[in-house]
Structure 1
Amino acid sequence: MNGNPSTPLRLGTRRSQLAMAQSGQVAEAVRRVTGRPVELVEITTYGDVSREHLAQIGGTGVFVSALRDALLAGEIDFAVHSLKDLPTAQPDDLALAAIPPREDPRDALVARDGLTFEELPDGARVGTGSPRRMAQLNAWARALGKRIETVPIRGNIDTRLGFVTKGELDAVVLAAAGLNRIGRADRVTQFLEPDTVLPAPGQGALAIECTAENASLVAALAQLDDPHTRAAVTAERSLLAALEAGCSAPVGALADLLEGEQAVTEMRLRGVVGSTDGTTLVQLSTTGPVPASADDALALGRELAAEMLDKGAAGLMGERAL
């Protein structure tokens, strides 16, 4: 690792409350494994300043590019991203040095009066900026024999929670991991199980990135890597890449490890693509041995994507990331 041991490592982070919270957790872990002080460097990304809905500005990379530019310019030593924000193609000059153990990958409902999704009234207004959530929530409502209105929203977590507190919306849907990381899990009225609503590929996981040429820092950060989380998110992101879909497309995916009598023996990958009105969903799953390598995880994702495309997934995605 380059530099004086007493010189702080510079960690690049977005300025949001959630980004600062999760970067602070990573900073503490890096201090432990390197013995070096770590200072946070706040960086504003395009996704932070744009007021357009994420589906309109493309989603892919809008929270990432400024951090990567700072890495390559030598302004920071490493960066922390929410993994679901990363484009699926990894630049050769940057290393995804560590993917720490994953937080809860599920989505969470925060509704007025402590309501669950099943208890929401017909015509309820539900806020989310995600076409993936819109597709699955509308499909779920249809299966329950009712209608909801999904309302596009932006803003940080507290802003989104405020839409419910102020009575502007009946409910909002957010990532459980974000609520947990900033101490707002007490606001959750229902965790949405993956059998009903699949999360975004990589949801709940963090990515720690640095320049590929800084081999000593890559090795130091790799101590924070969780192999099971890396295998799971690699399969999920491989599915997303093979569908040629950006991270604002209505694609959900979750890989989980299945335990046999003695140990973890298999990985199950589930994927969904849907029209945002919920009228059509393509939802499939596949199971394979626990990946022994990144190539195995990539193959599992590509295999499921091929099956989904055969079932008509391409026509449901809107944005295609070519």
Structure 2
Amino acid sequence: MENLLEQLAFEEIESLLTAIELELKEIKQTNFNVVLENGTFLNEAGKRWIYLFRTDTPIEIVDDSEVKATIKSKSVNAVIISSFGLQIKIAFQENFGETIESILVKIQTNAILRLLFSKLQNMIVATPEKKLRIDPSTTELALKLFGKIAITREKVECIMPALEFKPDIYQEEAIEESLSKDVTFIWGPPGTGKTITIAILLKILYDLGQSVLITSNTNIAVDNIFDKFIDQFKLTFPQMSDGSIIRIGNSQIEKVRLLLGEESIINKMTEEKNLKLWEKNAILEAYTKEAEACERRIQKNKS
């Protein structure tokens, strides 16, 4: 069975590589330059300074794309945090003040595809046997995701947490399906409550002792889930900011960044440990003074 799964996985990876290679050939314009003006400083997160630029026409760039930027003849590395409508948020590794008058950004439109192609290639060991560098425990789940083998169903008791929001029958069904199957696709048009359904599912899985990874092709989609999670459970989930949930990466929503952002969590844990250390040092100092006083009395009695 294990050899069959590996063979299926190998075939799927080769198919993906072929598809990406064809897509890369179809992309005619591999890079372009864009001039952005009047950038305003938004916030600093994880030693990254984030600026907002507004454009006259929409520019679509994949979130987290690494780009080269030129500011006053200085070339710097930057990351596209988000690109939506007429707004682009860019993170830099240094502080350029409250405003950036003008910036030239060099964008490679196929950078993400080339990175994905490279990562998939690295999964295949260059030997005649064509082995895969994949954890066997994840191979089966990946194949289920792509519909190559049957999805497993196992009934799990669903205990709905206390909610201000009342899920409808379709949302409850989506939650139950997600808990009973190892792969579930939740689909619906905008406004049907997919985000809050995932937020509730996150809480249920946490209560069941599961580890959960939330990921998406955009930063704001991840933030929206945590935004709903905070709104629903901020009063009933005391572990909200103790490190049980960590928002890694570039958060776009301030309350998510302040409550769950990795930098905020680290700072809070550091402050708590520093406070405990200060309290212990104070106790130690008191004991030291008492011991010194005892030593002086002993020396006085000896004399």
> TM-score under structure 2 normalisation?
0.25
The answer to which structure has the higher strand fraction is 1
Higher relative contact order (CA 8 A, sep 6+): 1
Structure having the higher helix fraction is: 2
